[in-house]
């Protein structure tokens, strides 16, 4: 595997890096960003994964959220993958909510997507091995958080791998993709028409049976996508019936943007570090 350090910058005492590599799982060239805290004390460092939303790359969170101040304060590394496979030979769609930039963190089973769109395997097999080599003094402890489509990804990744992750958090996540337009479009395209095949990629289904990790969800009341794409009712009902303890917060007046994310990001970091 070819791994190239593309750029690096000092931020709040730590180091913000961007890498490029050839992915064997996705069969294309990928980028990811990684923040390494200063760690002057030489302590063991845990790792938080951030999964971004529709249309995003690994740059959005690293450049807009200001998370580096928190990551160095809490002395935690942060891994930011891209959302989807990329490149001129990778299948794409004219819509902004499908194709490159909208991989939905699933393993596609339908042609032509199945060749490249194996984002779940990328995040559970290939990229963790790379991260473990790049984080000095890695403690082996991990948690995962994300936004919107990335919130969906964080919940699915965490609920399907409870032995790997210590906690999950999400900003404005797609909680029930099987029942909303974004999810139905993506799942039909990537997974086919059999809705039974969709259940293992839907947090509202997974929360019924999966041993729940500590979960924090924050949603803005003025989010323009909330009513149509992000409703929490069935997810919370299933979580309660399965006796899973979910912290769900509705924040009055906040929207879907990075202004919303950056406002409550410190609360999410504190939540994760309390379990890491």
Which residues are known to be catalytic?
A: 148, 223, 256
Query: Residue 218 corresponds to which tokens in the numbers above?
Result: 């924050």
Q: How far is CA 165 from CA 3, 31, 78, 124, in A?
A: 25, 23, 14, 11
Q: What residue has token string 């004219």? A: 94
Q: Are 51 and 144 in contact (CB under 8 A)?
A: yes
Query: Residue 242 corresponds to which tokens in the numbers above?
Result: 């399965």
H or E stretch including 149?
helix 149-160
Q: How many CB atoms lie within 10 A of CB 20?
A: 14
Judged by phi (left if over 0) then psi (alpha if -120 to 50, else beta), residue 249 lies in beta
Query: Could you tell me where the beta strands, DSSP code E, fall in 24-119?
Result: 28-36, 45-51, 77-81
Query: Residue 214 corresponds to which tokens in the numbers above?
Result: 């500590």
Q: Are 145 and 49 in contact (CB under 8 A)?
A: yes
Integer Cα distance of 186 and 272 in angstroms: 29
Query: Residue 208 corresponds to which tokens in the numbers above?
Result: 């019924």
H or E stretch including 258?
helix 258-275
Q: How many CB atoms lie within 10 A of CB 70?
A: 24
């Amino acid at each position: 595997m070819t791994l190239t350090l593309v750029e690096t910058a000092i931020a709040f005492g730590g180091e913000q890096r961007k890498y490029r590599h050839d992915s064997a799982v996705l069969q294309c060239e990928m980028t990811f960003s990684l923040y390494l805290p200063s760690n002057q004390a030489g302590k063991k460092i845990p790792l938080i994964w951030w999964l971004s939303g529709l249309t995003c790359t690994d740059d959005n969170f690293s450049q807009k959220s200001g998370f580096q101040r928190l990551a160095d304060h809490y002395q935690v590394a942060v891994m930011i993958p891209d959302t989807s496979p990329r490149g001129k030979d990778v299948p794409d769609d004219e819509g902004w909510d499908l194709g490159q930039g909208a991989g939905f963190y699933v393993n596609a089973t339908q042609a032509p997507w199945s060749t490249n769109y194996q984002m779940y395997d990328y995040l559970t097999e290939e990229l963790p091995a790379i991260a473990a080599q790049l984080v000095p003094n890695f403690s082996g402890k991990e948690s995962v958080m994300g936004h919107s489509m990335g919130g969906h990804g964080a919940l699915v990744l965490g609920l399907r791998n409870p032995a790997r992750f210590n906690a999950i958090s999400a900003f404005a996540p797609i909680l029930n993709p099987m029942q909303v337009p974004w999810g139905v479009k993506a799942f039909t395209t990537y997974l086919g028409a059999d809705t039974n095949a969709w259940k293992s990629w839907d947090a509202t289904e997974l929360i019924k049976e999966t041993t729940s990790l500590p979960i924090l969800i924050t949603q803005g009341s003025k989010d323009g996508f909330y009513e149509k794409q992000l409703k929490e009712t069935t997810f919370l009902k299933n979580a309660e019936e399965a006796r899973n303890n979910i912290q769900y917060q509705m924040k009055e007046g906040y929207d879907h943007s990075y202004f919303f994310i950056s406002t409550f990001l410190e609360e999410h970091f504190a939540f994760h570090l309390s379990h890491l």
